[in-house]
Chains A and B, each alone.
Chain A
Amino acid sequence: MKITQHATESTLTLSLDGELDASSSVLLDTELSKPEILRNQKVLIDCRQLHYISSAGLGVFISHLQSFQDAGVKLVFFNMQEKVHNVFEILGLDSLMTIVPSEAEAEAI
């Protein structure tokens, strides 16, 4: 799992590369737990290279969902692969989180 960051004035983009399982989700949790992350208006998650997400990986997003909402930070996923999208959908997360097809749409939100 590799996480690359790209920050602009008000937007932070995290690109996930690899499989988000129990061990790599700790990395992501560390990133999302940083207090300065809540200063962004938007946090975009680029899922182009995300091949697999386990329940532990989902748990990381779920556990930060509330604090993002409270701080008014928008969490947007884009470029999600069909397989990964299916996992989000089955769990019902597609109704809670913003998942858009492309980066352009993500930035437009």
Chain B
Amino acid sequence: MSFLRKLHLFLFPVCLLTWLGLLACTLLYAHPYLLPRSGQQPNWPILVLQALFTAAVFIHERNTPDRLRGLDFVGLLRRLVLGPGLLATVCAGLHLLQQLIATTLPETRSVLFSVVYTVNVGLFVVLLARTNYAWRSLVLFRSSATLRRQWVWFEVLLGLTLLVHLFAPTPTWGFNTAILGALAAFGAYISSHQKWVAYLNRRQKIEAVLLQLAIILAMGAFTAYFLQTQQDPQLIAPPTQHTFLILNAFFAGFYAIMGLLVTLFNLPTAGVFEQKREEILSLQRLTQLIQRGQTTDEVYRMFFDSAIQTVGADAAWLDVASPEEGQPLYQHIRPEQAQAVRNLLADYNLTHIEYINNDLYNSAGFRGLELPFGSLIVMPLHSSKNQYGSVYMLKEHPQGFDRENLSILQTFASQTVLSIENLQLVQASMHTQRVQDELKIASAVQDSLIPKNLPIDNWFEISSHALAATEVGGDFYDFLHLPGRRLAVLIGDVSGKGVTAAFHVAQMKGIFHALMQENPLARNEREKFPVPSKFMAQANNALARCLEKSAFITASLYIIDYEHGGFVFARAGHCHTLYYHSIKEEVSYFRTAGLGLGIIRNDTYEKHIKNQFYDYNPSDVMVIYTDGIVEARNGAQEEYGEERLQQMLERTYYLDAEQIKEQILADLMEFSKGQPMHDDQTLLVIKFKASQPEAGL
């Protein structure tokens, strides 16, 4: 590559030098007296210099970068005409100047003729080189590898003709004709590659025709000059490299003429090509625009505008199926006119289907509407599942639409539907994301409702566990210290799951804290705080108004008086309390009656709830839980069950509260291994202790 680049740098000086040499040789040849010492010049220096000059110019041109930029064919032609093409005027000008000077200064005539002739040969070679390499750009435009190889062969064969005159200064007629004929045919074949013409629009085609005419004219000017000078008696020079030049001139001219004809014949169809191109471009534009559309409104608007522009409708409107997604759009038609057409189509049962009518004036129904339109096309916007609307396009003239319009509208419509569905998906996923984010917040809020600091005292140990099956759960528990060394413990479960249940959990906790306030009007110590049954009745009353009909809450409230070593509790439909009696050395459930909250929503509820008193002993253990524990299932769909829980406590009652809890949970985990968690699980273990001497003081 670097060698070629270096060569390229030298080519221009070589061109110049060989041309100057050629000029000198020609002058000497024609006028040997200019240099008295030399005799008659031989032919070969001129021929060699001619061949070198021509080869240098062509190779120089061959190595310049492709002059075709993108699809700017007209630009390429224009630069060709305005650059080398103008050399023809130089040629003609020089010829006229020479004629003029020759008449005024006859003695310089012969010398001048030689100079002008050599200049013109040089200019012609430059023009041919530029033209043929411009044609190369056009021939090889998006060409196959085969054609590229053929072109190289064409170049090589043409280049070889430069040698013809060196080795056979006067080639035989037959030989010459054979070479000329064969290579001309090759050139003609190459000239058939005019793919570039298809990429021109109408205006460009006209321009291309004119530019090609100009090039043919320029070639003609040179040809005329050389034909004329060939007859001139003053031409005393060995014949030029005319096999090469004639072939190149023939190819340059032939390609230009072919191009001209192809372009000319393409002119009538340019409109159709342009329309197709325009359709593809507007589809591209639509696709890009629509993807930028943020709302369905925008997407409909873009579709509507593009569709009108592409089919060239005189009037149009767009119906959107659901009003919340967008308003109907009208263009050059009044809504009441559109409504009349809509009604008519509905009468014919033609809504939401593709419909094309190119002769509205002959349709009785449409004629009755007295609208100034002759053609109608209807394109529904629908996916396999949904109907999004329809677009109606009208033209004043009958036969205004064709199948092509219908198919392009179809493409537009499906693109639009795709975009709208995409947009809806994006919106839906954003909504889901928001809901999930809110659920996370709800989960965090609910988490903050769970007591983090368990009551600590020397009289008991408490250990707790809570695990929600979903982000927000329906289980709850809470503690409240009451005056007089008493502790209220609440546990419960709201029926159902999810956000609704979570709200009721928060509500229950609110009710708990509100009702467990000291009553200032109380006459004695016992009435200062509601007893559990009273609490349940009041809670039931509070919940009656806001709990939905099929929802209910189960709860147990324990008030432990550890000064007197006893507790009182009420069970509102909640799981039975499991208890280890240290004196009896026995584990059993407190099987008391009690109705869940929210099941009866009137004053009769109080009849269904009882208080249970019990005096505990040190080392007694109370296990409080929700149904998520006992209803946990194993692989065989068996429930963990009260019995198994009881057995666990029988095995672990002597441990610390924390250890008892851990053992039960470990057993539960083992039991339900591999099974999904269906319900929230809450477990509290309370172990009563003998007061320690120092704490008792």
Contact = CB atoms under 8 A, between A and B. Distances in A.
Contacts of A27: none
B550 A95 contact: no
B600 interface: yes
Nearest to A51: B637
Given A90-B573, A92-B608, A55 B495 contact: yes
Contacts of A22: 496
B595 A59 contact: no
B18 to A, nearest CB: 97
Interface string B54-70: 00000000000000000
B287 to A, nearest CB: 43
Nearest to A94: B593
A62 B554 CA distance: 13
B596 A92 contact: yes
Q: Which of A22, A65, A91, A95 has the most CB of B within 10 A?
A: A91
Contacts of B639: 83
B374 interface: no
Interface of B: 493, 495-496, 549-552, 554, 572-576, 593-596, 598-601, 608, 627, 639
Interface string A21-37: 01000000100000000
A65 B396 CA distance: 70
Contacts of A90: 554, 573-576
Residue of B550, B572, B573, B576 ringed by the most chain A CB atoms within 10 A: B550
Contact of B573 (A60, A63, A66, A91): A91
Interface residues of A, number: 18
B599 A95 contact: no
A60 B601 CA distance: 15
Contact of B496 (A29, A56, A91, A93): A56
A91 B599 contact: yes
A96 B550 contact: no
A60 B574 CA distance: 18
Contacts of B598: 62
16 contacts: A58-B495, A59-B495, A59-B550, A62-B552, A62-B599, A83-B639, A90-B554, A90-B573, A90-B576, A91-B554, A91-B595, A92-B608, A93-B573, A93-B595, A93-B599, A96-B608
Of A55, A62, A63, A83, chain B has the most CB atoms within 10 Å of the CB of A55
Interface string A78-98: 000001000000111101100
A14 to B, nearest CB: 17
Given A91-B599, A92-B608, A96-B599, A56 B576 contact: no
A93 B549 CA distance: 16
Contacts of A63: 549-550
Contacts of B596: 91-93
A91 B601 CA distance: 15
Contacts of A62: 549-550, 552, 598-599
Contacts of B495: 55-56, 58-59
A18 to B, nearest CB: 12
A22 B497 CA distance: 10
Contact of A95 (B549, B552, B595, B627): B595
Contacts of B493: 55
Contacts of A29: 550
Contacts of B600: 96
A59 B496 contact: yes
Given A56-B496, A95-B595, 20 more contacts: A55-B493, A55-B627, A56-B495, A56-B550, A58-B495, A58-B552, A59-B495, A59-B496, A60-B550, A62-B549, A65-B599, A83-B639, A90-B554, A90-B573, A90-B574, A91-B554, A92-B608, A95-B593, A95-B608, A96-B608
